[in-house]
Structure 1
Amino acid sequence: MEFKNSPALILIDIQKGLEEVDYYGGCRNNPEAEHRAADLLAIWREKKYPVYHIKHDGNPPSPLSPGTPGNDFKDMVTPGDGETIVEKNTNSAFLGTPLHQMLQDSGITDLVLVGLTTAHCVSSTARMAGNLGYNTFVVSDATATFDTLGPDGTKYEADLVHRICLSSLHREFATVIESDILIPNL
């Protein structure tokens, strides 16, 4: 793994409203995802690498609606001074936001994605990042998702959904990697 410049850490939707498991369909996998993201955030801060916090502003009655406690970032990844916050109201951090222009203006070509949820905003952001030409990495143990209902009502367990989403991204839009493989290469 090789970075062309200082990689940007993109923390996607690590917000308090995503603790409302019932709203999102039941069980969630990888309960340590936010802790792995916080570990990576600490390393990025120590190395003074660029950090972008993505915040989903959901439409009511979403637990992520602006003005509700669920819209707040989880305490373990609260943005620090000088860290960029990008607000969005779609599933991709690029769609309808200035993120792409900000990254271009800063000369950033390498992205490391962490956050919630693998099946939705992480996947959408990774796909767009890959299509935009970024050297993109998705950290598998710093992402998580919820159980999903198929169109026929079949329930798919969160861990299976997580693994399938990561498999769909790997080598097509991003490199999927675990944090213990990523960290020594920073």
Structure 2
Amino acid sequence: MDIARNAALVVVDVQQGFGEAGYWGTRNHPGADDNIAALLDAWQSAGRPVVFVRHDSVSPGSPLRPGSEGNGFKEYVERRRGKGGGAELLVTKTVNSAFLGSPDLAAWLREAGIRQVVLAGIQTNMCVETTARMGGNLGFEVVVAFDATYTFGLEGPFGWRRSADELAQASAVSLHGGGFASVVMTEDVLTAVK
């Protein structure tokens, strides 16, 4: 696997509000936070560009609503902001895709000559997947570090319920099999950037 020298790490919605298990339910990938931190450290120590994405929920009861403690980044992410030698961007959004946030992520990437993005964050089947799909549609080469993402179980139509692992795997199959992104493990990315 090749990771471009100027590939941007896009860290999606790693916010404190996702720690509220009573609101979200059971999550998967217990090591995801460590993997996200490792990717951040690798990118920042090499002076590579990092994009931090924050979801500003418009739902009044959401743990991610602006003004709530849950809207803030998890401590390990907040501690790393502004610490790298490369370009850094904060994107805020109210929908699933980081490409529909502010400022315009695609414009920022293109202006910097960045063609490849590596995605990590929360939730695998929601904001990470939507960002990956749009990134692919916009012509970017997208890599998803699968075990640096996590999600929660969910109930859909007809009483169908899927676990966090089932939803994450379905996202990985759709993204990778559908040609939107290369879905890999964190260790593969870290090896490629060394």
TM bracket, shorter-chain basis: over 0.9
CA drift at 1:22: 2.5
CA drift at 1:77: 1.1
Q: Quick check: 2:32–2:150 contact (8 Å CA) kept in 1?
A: yes
Match of residue 72 from structure 2 = 72
Q: Quick check: 2:124–2:171 contact (8 Å CA) kept in 1?
A: yes
Q: 2:131 aligns with which of 121, 125, 132?
A: 125
TM-score (normalizing by structure 2): 0.91
Q: Quick check: 2:91–2:101 contact (8 Å CA) kept in 1?
A: no
Q: Tell me the number of residue pairs that the alignment of Structure 1 and Structure 2 aligns.
A: 185
Where in structure 2 are the equivalents of 1:1-80 lying within 5 Å? 1-24=1-24, 26-59=25-58, 60-78=60-78, 79-80=81-82
Q: Deviation string for 1:120-145 (max 9, x for gaps)?
A: 00000000000011111000110001
Match of residue 92 from structure 2 = 87
Match of residue 178 from structure 1 = 185
1:108 aligns with 2:114: yes
Q: Deviation string for 1:9-52 (max 9, x for gaps)?
A: 0000000001112322x211012111100110001010000000
Q: How well do the aligned residues superpose, as a CA RMSD in angstroms? A: 1.2
CA drift at 1:69: 0.2
For residues 106 and 127 of structure 1, the distance between their equivalents in structure 2, rounded to whole angstroms, comes to: 21
CA drift at 1:68: 0.5
Q: Quick check: 1:5–1:110 contact (8 Å CA) kept in 2?
A: no
Q: Quick check: 2:147–2:185 contact (8 Å CA) kept in 1?
A: yes
| Counterpart code for 1:180 | E
Unaligned residue ranges in structure 2 (runs of 5+): none
User: Percent same amino acid at aligned positions?
Assistant: 42
Unaligned residue ranges in structure 1 (runs of 5+): none
For residues 126 and 160 of structure 2, the distance between their equivalents in structure 1, rounded to whole angstroms, comes to: 18
